[in-house]
Amino acid sequence: MPSRSNTFQEDLSNHGVTVNKASALAKEIAREPNGARTLGHPRPTGVLTLAEKAKYPGLILQPDSSPISEEQLTTEIKGIYAGLVMVEAKCINIDAAQAADPSSKLDTSQWQALIALHRTLLYEHHDFLMATQHPSATPALRALPTKYAMPARMWKHAIHAFLEVLRHRRPDSQDYMISFIYLAYQMMALLYETVPVFLDTWIECLGDLARYRMAVEEEREAHAQWGSVAASWYIKASDRHPQVGRLYHHLAIL
């Protein structure tokens, strides 16, 4: 059976593009310690530039997409995915090793490296989603995140597994866990606004992250506030899908 990444390469090759898996992005990640690229913001993919109307200076009327061919976009997506798979594998291996030995102590630099690694994976997923949902993307390219279960993989490997590593090392990991929850919450909120095709996933993830934040909060008022935030997301999710019992279970345990 071909590997997941090989199958993905074949999918993109069907668009008439063949690119070495060791893309510039993958090489860039490999050069960085712990696979963490220095990213102030997710890397632009087919960047949107905003045009101003001369009659109304400073007023943005409509986003204007930079021209990009299908071949260029396919090449970009292929490179992003190559880097994503590389970082994802590192996260899976490291989280599994840490979960197997929860009593081991990590110092500040080790925690920072782990957060940087998982942050990089979040950014790779962001870039992949933005590229595949670009206005120039074909239906086949737009379908790739669903075909390869990218939202579920992002939650599982970039967020949830690491949160469990952090949770099992409390109280030593308390500050790092809160910091990572905020990081993941900000990314999910961004995707909620920019990638509405997976809106149901983002809503439930935001509820789950708020519930994690509530669980580690020691101050009563803040604990209640985060519980209310989690409940608001779960209510929004259940309003959209009233037949899903899991959402009511989440609400019941808040």
pLDDT at 52: 45
Q: What domain range is 181 assigned to?
A: 4-252
Report, as an integer, the average pLDDT of 94-118: 94
pTM (predicted TM-score): 0.74
Distances (CA, A) of 188 to 141, 202, 246: 22, 6, 20
- Distance in angstroms (rounded) separating the CA atoms of residues 194 and 13: 27
Kindly state the tokens that stand for 214: 């509530």
Kindly state the tokens that stand for 216: 């580690």
156 versus 61: the higher-pLDDT residue is: 156
Q: List, for residues 169-218, the tens digit of each pLDDT value.
A: 999 999 999 999 999 999 999 999 999 999 999 999 999 999 999 999 98
* pLDDT over threshold 70, residue 231: yes
- 218: exposed, middle or buried (C-beta count within 10 Å: 0-12, 13-18, 19+)? exposed
241: CB partners within 8 A, 6+ apart: 200, 247
Q: How many domains does the chain have?
A: 1
Query: How would you classify residue 189: left for phi > 0, otherwise alpha for psi between -120 and 50, otherwise beta?
Result: alpha
- Distance in angstroms (rounded) separating the CA atoms of residues 214 and 227: 6
Q: List, for residues 52-105, the tens digit of each pLDDT value.
A: 445 555 555 555 556 788 889 999 999 999 999 999 999 999 999 999 998 889
pLDDT at 69: 84
* pLDDT over threshold 90, residue 38: no
Under DSSP, the state recorded for 44 is P
